[in-house]
Amino acid sequence: MRFLESAHRPDAALTQATAIPSEPPSPRYDPQGDLRWLLLRPWIWISRIIVVLWQLGSLAITLATQASSPDPKVQRRVAQRILTTLSGLGPCFIKVGQALSTRPDLVKREWLEELTRLQDDLPPFPHQVALAVIEAELGAPVDRLFAEFPDYPVAAASLGQVYKARLDDGRWVAVKVQRPRLPFLMRRDLVIIRGLGVLSAPFLPLNLGFGLGSIIDEFGTTLFEEIDYRREADNAERFAALFAAHPEVTVPEVERSLSSRRVLTTQWIDGVKLQNRRELEANHLDPTALIRTGVIAGLQQLLEFGYFHADPHPGNLFALHGSSGGLGHVAYVDFGMMDSISDQDRLTLTGAVVHLINRDFEALARDFVALGFLSPQADLEPIIPALADVLGGALGENVGNFNFKAITDRFSELMYDYPFRVPARFALIIRAVVSQEGLAMRLDPSFRIIRVAYPYVARRLLAGDTAEMREKLLEVIFDGNGRLRLQRLENLLDVVEGEGPGFDLLPVARDGLRLLFGRQGSGLRQRLLLSLVADNRIHTDDLQALLGLLGRTFSPRRLAGGVLARFNPLAA
């Protein structure tokens, strides 16, 4: 991780003069309490509902009459209408538009460019208001806190706007200032959105199990957490610590002495947004290497760390120059929307990917039960062939054919015939995954996230670098009777080797040997020996098949080819 010098510290006199005033507790989302609060103020909610219904109804008429027009000029006007409607309705609706801007498979290409402006190209609020917020929050005017502070923000987003300022020691920083009256605006609109969602849910083509109300509550809770910049500072430092050993991921350093509940100051990142392939190439950046970094970092967050960035849209990810082991360098910003996943869910998700690799749909159905997508009382017998049809058909002969849009479309059909539901705790996880895939597809329409997810999980299993991965590996390659399942081991090796021409197998061989003969591989060695002498006889056929598989996969010629390709890509 590349950080600048230690955080800016004002001298003692300035610190004493600019003591940050004590701050009130952060507002929290309370659906029932907020509903009572708004109902007691009819002068607020009646006028707001009229505005919301009028704006959305007018937009719906525009979409119904013009969305299918082949005229590019008409499509541009429709896109601008969507943008102005959502931005005019305020922060909650802008957040919906931001999510749509990452889904090129859901939104017309002609509309995407306009929707991406919702990420950080919104109208700013008055500069004098921002200066007043900074002074109220940090206890001094900007000319005493910064050596240089501009008159206009460099970006304005749904919850705040960002200035590029310079500290006394010459370092450049990003200063994010929150929009005024945000708690009031969000309380009002979340109550209205929740009410409209619950009332309209029976008429919508949805079967979410937990209902729209629970999903909106999850969204509201996260949104209120996002407007406490002290929490965001904590999130950024935690995220940076997790990626401290990964030079391909940069996290801006927080300037704690210049941050508070409504002001956040961090290291300035000089990079190119992960938004436009041609712009990346014009800056001599490799989109493919950057996509791989983004996807692998996302998988690490979900399946290793259990703590993830839930809003990886192009405005929050920047491409930097440099590469590490074939991975491009990426910087994350904006840590307001973060979430955690339990260790149990994390391990179950890892196992689900492995079961998908092996087309073990019975085990995958049990994974869905463990994750809460199926009730423990559900009859799995008719569900297993349905999963095989949906997921097996989507995978086809090649994992590259798999994409989440196709799967979610098919699952939405299955939910009417089978007792699937979407647990509320997975709302942000699903958002993060589909946003990551959408961002990658924006840069490369042929990209499939599973092409990277498969080899990543397979490599982790074969390395057995943690006790949980070793346990999962034993579960995968040995059946209930302790017999070796060579086909599954071969599937894992095929997936790892299939990463691309010239892939280096040497690290896989090294990690496998370390596991097999090292101190931590005692369980694997014991299970392997027991499988070879099961039923009171030595299974020489299994031993020969295992040695043959390893010999073919890790032949000297193939290992040397991978090493050569690492140093000379033209040799692949």
Q: Higher model confidence: residue 167 or residue 427?
A: 167
Supply the pLDDT for residue 392.
67
Most distant CA atoms of the chain, gap in Å: 84
Residue 135 has a pLDDT of 96
Q: Would you state the pLDDT for residue 205?
A: 52
- Are 424 and 306 contained in the same domain? yes
Average pLDDT, the chain: 80
pLDDT of residue 555: 67
The residue out of 268, 284, 300 marking a domain boundary is 268
Final residue in a domain of this structure, among 240, 268, 296: 268
Catalytically annotated residue among 217, 228, 311, 339: 311
Q: Does 131 map to a domain?
A: yes
Q: Point out the least confidently predicted range of 197-206, 282-291, 455-464.
A: 197-206
* pLDDT one-digit tens code per residue, 261-304: 999 999 999 999 888 889 999 999 999 889 889 989 998 998 88
- The residue with greater pLDDT, 525 or 309, is 309
- pLDDT for 328: 92
pLDDT above 80 for 147: yes
pLDDT digits (tens, 9 = 90+) for 64-85: 898 888 888 888 888 889 989 9
CA distances from 4 to 250, 267, 273, 310, 416 (A): 11, 8, 21, 26, 54
Is 311 one of the catalytic residues? yes
Instruction: Give the pLDDT score at 318.
Output: 94
Mean local confidence (pLDDT), 216-223: 84
Considering the domain architecture, whether residues 434 and 495 belong to the same structural domain is answered as no
Name the more confident of 519 and 169.
169
Looking at the structure of the chain, the number of domains it has is 4
Report the distance separating Cα 471 and Cα 520, nearest Å: 11
- 331 pLDDT tier (thresholds 50, 70, 90): very high
How far, in Å, CA of 227 to CA of 182, rounded?
8
The pLDDT value given to residue 257: 95
What integer pLDDT is reported at residue 312 of this predicted model? 84
The radius of gyration of the chain's CA atoms, rounded to the nearest angstrom, is 26
Asked if residue 57 and residue 20 are part of one domain, the reply reads no
396 and 310 assigned to the same domain:
yes
- Whole-angstrom distance, CA of residue 41 vs CA of residue 49: 13
Question: pLDDT tens digits for 477-534?
Answer: 777 677 777 777 777 777 666 555 445 566 666 776 776 777 776 777 777 777 776 6
Q: Which residue has the higher pLDDT, 563 or 451?
A: 451
Query: CATH number for the domain including 164?
Result: 3.30.200.20
Residue 245 burial by Cβ neighbours in a 10 Å radius (0-12, 13-18, 19+)? exposed
Q: Minimum mean pLDDT among 209-213, 235-239, 421-425, 560-564: which range?
A: 560-564
Q: pLDDT at position 9, please?
A: 39
- What's the whole-number mean pLDDT along residues 407-411? 61
Q: How far apart are CA 106 and CA 118, in angstroms?
A: 17
Judge whether 477 lies within some domain: yes
Q: How far apart are CA 330 and CA 246, in angstroms?
A: 11
CA distance 452 to 176: 34
Alpha-carbon torsion 500, 505, 511, 516, what sign?
A: positive
Among 116-120, 230-234, 373-377, whose mean pLDDT is lowest? 116-120
Q: Indicate the pLDDT class of residue 559, thresholds 50, 70 and 90.
A: low
* pLDDT for position 164: 97
At residue 174 the predicted structure's pLDDT band, cuts being 50, 70 and 90, is very high
Max avg pLDDT among 161-170, 395-404, 426-435: 161-170
Q: What is the pLDDT of residue 335?
A: 93
Question: Could you list the residue range(s) of the whole structural domain that residue 304 is in?
Answer: 274-447
Residues 80 and 198 in one domain: yes
Q: What is the pLDDT of residue 572?
A: 43
Q: What is the pLDDT of residues 22-61, one digit of tens each?
A: 566 678 889 999 999 999 999 999 999 999 999 999 998 9
| Token pair for 330 | 């990426």
Residue 130 within any structural domain of the chain: yes
Tell me: pLDDT of 3 over 50: no
Asked whether residue 320 falls in the same domain as residue 384, the answer is yes
Q: Choose one of 447, 476, 495: the last residue of a domain.
A: 447
> Are both 248 and 197 inside the same structural domain?
no
The pLDDT of residue 249 is above 50: yes
- Nearest residue to 321 via CA among 270, 277, 278: 270
Span 310-334, average pLDDT:
88
Spacing of C-alpha 300 from chain mean position: 10
